[in-house]
Amino acid sequence: MQVDTGFTFVLFGGTGDLAMRKILPGLYQAHRSGLLPAAGRIAAVARGFCNREAYIQWMHTHVRHHVKPASDDVSWNDFLERILFVRIDLGQPEDYTVLRDTISPLPGIRVFYLATRPSLFVPICRALACMGLSNGARIVLEKPLGYDLKSSSAINDAVGEIFEEGHIYRIDHYLGKEPVQNLLALRFGNALFEPLWRREWVDSIQITIAEELGVEGRGDFYDNTGALRDMVQNHLLQLLSIVAMEPPHSMHTDALRDEKLRVLRALKPIELCNISRVAVRGQYYTGVLKGVAVPAYVTEHGVSASSTTETFVALKVEIENWRWAGVPFFLRTGKRLSDRVAEIVVNFRAVPHSVFGSMTLRNSSNRLVIRLQPNESIRLYCLAKQPGEGMNLQSVHLDLAFDEFFKEDRMEAYQRLLLDVINGRLALFVHRDEQEAAWKWVEPILSEWARLGTPPRRYAAGTWGPAAASALLARHGTCWLEEEN
């Protein structure tokens, strides 16, 4: 449901990389689709420009080419009419009077989007409260929300003193992706899959988020964060909770969040005495990616030459409940890998007895592959007879071709989530309890790695990570999906 009154969307970090690539293009797409009320205004907050005209020129140069499909002149210029610019120093509370004077006369709800470093979250919220701008407003917090459970709780406590929990939107853009929405529809809108979605029929599940990129100028941040904090604690565990959750009683916000939280609280603690067999950390060195030589992580700008920060993590995870007991979930993420891909692979058990003898192979049995990026698709793999003499089986797949069936433009993740904030829908955002449960599970791994002091395993840029990541699955008699192809 679209709001029928105005809104003011205040974007802190209005010249940052996230604003340039995702937030402003997402707002434009919502505008072009007619999903934003005409009275809505977008106030970009930054200190890099002297006036609105300079900021608008920056948008022409740096934002417009990120819009997909390309914008037309009429809708783009119409969108720019919504843009306000407020030049303030975020660390100076007195500067916020300029923001107050700019947005106070504007009608409708207020949304404050904090696309800044986490150390500014609390000062910004306190400054907004001092100016009387926080009452009834909604606040959007980008990841990472803290460095560990203690710092995350401190931020949540401070923000919670100013904003009600129902007005705090902790964003994880993977939850807004169309295939993740389709996963919910696939599981809970059809009778076909749900009876099979359990330990009796599922052999293992893989969740991968692989990146070709390195740290991309964020070396200072990344070297103090690492892949486990940057990707596993949020994106991967959120995807796992959606894959493994029990059917909610409805699509209501609390119903979805409650079921995800039950999964996170049921995660089996990693066996620290045997951590090398269930957790692999790696760091890329020089290699070749798509025919181009790329440098080692330790030579990236802002990274210490002696860094032991992991750029790759693979984990074997188990869930201690009746549905999933004994089923391994293999999680993997890394930078400078062979390809950019995010996918969920559900490997179903092989038939209990093959009437075809050795022609029915374990790795060729039924599999559901949900691709999140770069192209979005869902494929169901099964065995079929090859044409011709004899009974020779071959793996074939059925495509759920949403692009062919639905002719409408697909909504990008940020567009969907930004509209949800404006319209007051919390279902696709992370509750504080979920964050804390994820941190409680992740922290012992971080502590054990620090205690051991063992450097991460090296892997060449352009590969799929350390060989030990393949060994995780080999011990279960399977392999990562791309290793079969």
∠ Cα 19 40 66 (to 5°): 30
In tens, the pLDDT along 278-319 reads 999 999 999 999 999 999 999 999 999 999 999 999 999 999
Bridge partners of 87, per DSSP, are 46
Answer whether residue 337 shows pLDDT above 60: yes
Active-site annotation, residues: 235
Q: Average per-residue pLDDT in the chain?
A: 91
- pLDDT winner (highest mean) among 254-268, 355-369, 380-394: 254-268
- Residue 265: CB atoms within 10 A of its CB come to 18
- The structural domains of the chain, ordered by start, are 7-170 (3.40.50.720), 175-408+430-483 (3.30.360.10)
User: With pLDDT > 90 as the criterion, what percentage of the chain qualifies?
Assistant: 73
Confidence of residue 328 (pLDDT cuts 50, 70, 90): very high
Mean pLDDT for 477-484 is 82
Q: How distant is the alpha carbon of residue 9 from its chain centre?
A: 22
Cis peptide before 466 (omega within 30 of 0): no
DSSP state of 222: H
Give pLDDT tens digits for 161-189: 999 999 999 999 999 988 888 888 888 99
For residues 25-45, average pLDDT:
95
What values do phi and psi take at 231, rounded to 5? -125, -40
Overall average pLDDT of the 127-137 stretch: 96
- Tell me what pLDDT residue 359 has: 56
1 has pLDDT over 70: no
Give pLDDT tens digits for 351-366.
888 787 665 555 457 9
- Rounded to whole angstroms, the Cα distance separating 252 from 435 reads 19
The string over 420-443, giving b where at least 16 C-beta atoms fall within 10 Å of a residue's C-beta and e elsewhere, is bbbeeebebbbbbebbbbbbebbb
pLDDT > 70: percent of the chain: 96
- For residue 132, what are the CA distances in angstroms to 91, 137, 312? 18, 10, 44
Q: At what angle do helices 413-423 and 24-32 cross, to 10 degrees?
A: 80
Please report the pLDDT score of residue 148 as a whole number: 92
**Confidence band for 343, pLDDT divided at 50, 70 and 90:** very high
Residue 468 has pLDDT above 60, yes or no: yes
Out of 23-32, 239-248, 343-352, pick the least confident: 343-352
Token pair, residue 118, equals 């986490």
- Joined tokens for residue 376: 């979005």
CA distance readout (Å), 478 to 282, 380, 475, 481? 21, 18, 8, 9
252, pLDDT greater than 90: no
Q: What is the pTM of this model?
A: 0.92
Q: Is the pLDDT of residue 3 over 50?
A: no
Question: In angstroms, what CA-CA distances link 117 with 53, 220, 228, 339?
Answer: 26, 12, 18, 28
What lies within 8 Å, CB to CB, of 450 at 6+ separation is: none
Digit-coded pLDDT (tens) for 401-427: 676 777 677 788 999 999 999 999 999
Mean pLDDT of all residues in 76-86 = 96
The confidence band for 4, taking pLDDT boundaries of 50, 70 and 90, is low
How confident is the model at residue 434, as a pLDDT? 96
Using DSSP, state whether 417 is helix, strand or coil.
helix
